[in-house]
Amino acid sequence: MKNIVSMRWLLARMYEPDVVIADCRFLLGQPEAGRQAYEAGHIPGAVYLDLEKDLSSPVSAHGGRHPLPDPAVLASRLSKAGIGSNSRIVAYDDQGGMNASRLWWLLRYIGHEQVYIMDEGFSAWQNAKFPVTQDVPVQIPSSFEVNVQPQMLASVEDAQQASASGSAVLIDSRDARRFAGLEEPIDAKAGHIPGAVNYFWKDVLDWDGRWTDTGVLEERFSKLDKDGAIIVYCGSGVSACPNVIALEEAGFSNVKLYSGSWSDWISYEENSVATGNAEADKDV
């Protein structure tokens, strides 16, 4: 796999000068929990990046619950954390790779190729008796060049067009109950974008919490056209990112993230909502 590295891979390379380790642990609804976990113990040398303070911009009327950060602001934050254009970044979390994948996507979006997710996450690292510290590294600023890749991003208009005409396959990455509108713990409306298909993001992992290999991912997405346009979304553009990575691993070349996702979609009154699992019920 080209985007996922094992814990042993990182253990062997963690002190190489161009490697920057990013701790992306974060719990929705408990915004301080990730930083507290970092302060209690992290992989030596890791810098902490906060999903809401560093990897999102402030919430407004549209853009969803975790709007994309401005590329220049993000680059400045990364530079201060010692992440430069020549860095190899390895991101980890303890949430199945969801938050680490958001950093992966953002870095790729602003033109940085050398970014990887550490498989399994912090608890597995700790359980393996690999080194853990409370020391916070001195962050020496680095220079980071931004080269935005607009083809990676889908707008609400792109999602509307895909919903209306099938111009792209819409993949909803939330769990089946949220997709069907049977429950909605976070957002104001329940359901999904009409025409979307459901691929729960956690299914990219096996029962052990490891990323499944490329062959399994290819099988998972085998009903989809590898060259066809795909737009991936979730609740707020975070848990869709593991699906984006999985699609890339499986050989799909035309995949966009609708970063505002469901929380942005429902912020427009004119956007219709579908419920249930049948393709037939386009309107509610």
234 assigned to active site: yes
CA angle 69, 70, 76 (to 5 degrees): 95
Is the four-CA dihedral 88, 39, 12, 128 of positive or negative sign?
negative
Closest listed residue to residue 196, CA positions, set 227, 150, 154, 238:
154
The count of C-alpha atoms lying within 13 angstroms of the C-alpha of 207, restricted to the half-sphere facing its C-beta, is: 0
Cα separation, 61 vs 23, in Å, equals 30
8 A C-beta contact, residue 86 and residue 163: no
Cα separation, 180 vs 49, in Å, equals 33
Cα separation, 235 vs 219, in Å, equals 25
Given 100, 168, 234, 250, which residue is catalytic?
A: 234
Helix residue spans in the chain (DSSP H): 7-13, 33-40, 71-80, 98-109, 122-127, 156-165, 176-180, 214-220, 240-249, 261-265
Q: Collapsing DSSP states into helix, strand and coil, what is residue 80?
A: helix
| Residues belonging to the active site | 234
